[in-house]
Amino acid sequence: MDIVRNPDGTLVVPIQAGRRPAAEDGDDGLVADPAAEEVDEDQLPADPDTRLLHPGEGGYDEALAAWDAQQNPDREASVSTATGREEAMGLVHEVATSPDHAVAEVVAGLDDAEAAGEALRHVLVGGVHSVEDFAAEVAEAEGGDPLPPHEATKIIGEVLTELDG
């Protein structure tokens, strides 16, 4: 099953059923997803073999990187160049500070969309700490406070969706 990215940035990811020792009462020992008990029943996907992940939730960054890789499985490993990273930092800052969160407009104004996209993919592959470091680097280069990692990740996902669209 593929990972699905919803318009609101959430991801529906497949899960593997866990096992626990069989109980004496005849319980078969299958556990769906223990963390799913913390989520409102209305927010759970209909398929019990999936889990809905929100930006900032544990595993979201890794799932977003996997979703991006499944969009183009023949794509080579991401390589971040200095100019691509600079353009990616400016892009994330501009989207974050835009009053209407105009991702399409900002992406359309890129000089090298491919390099910026590769830099953002490279950040995602690095996981949560890479996103945190990137957000701090954006704040240092562009001014202001660092974005919370879940906001930076959500913006990166929106930008990659726009670039691939």
pLDDT of residue 67: 83
Query: Residue 29 pLDDT > 50, yes or no?
Result: no
27-41, 73-87, 129-143: least confident range? 27-41
The domain locations on the chain are 4-54, 82-164
Query: Residue 13 pLDDT > 80, yes or no?
Result: yes
Is this model's pTM higher than 0.75 or not?
no
* Res. 58 pLDDT band, cuts 50 70 90: confident
CA distance 97 to 132: 18
For range 73-83, the mean pLDDT: 75
Query: Residue 37 pLDDT > 80, yes or no?
Result: no
pLDDT of residue 59: 83
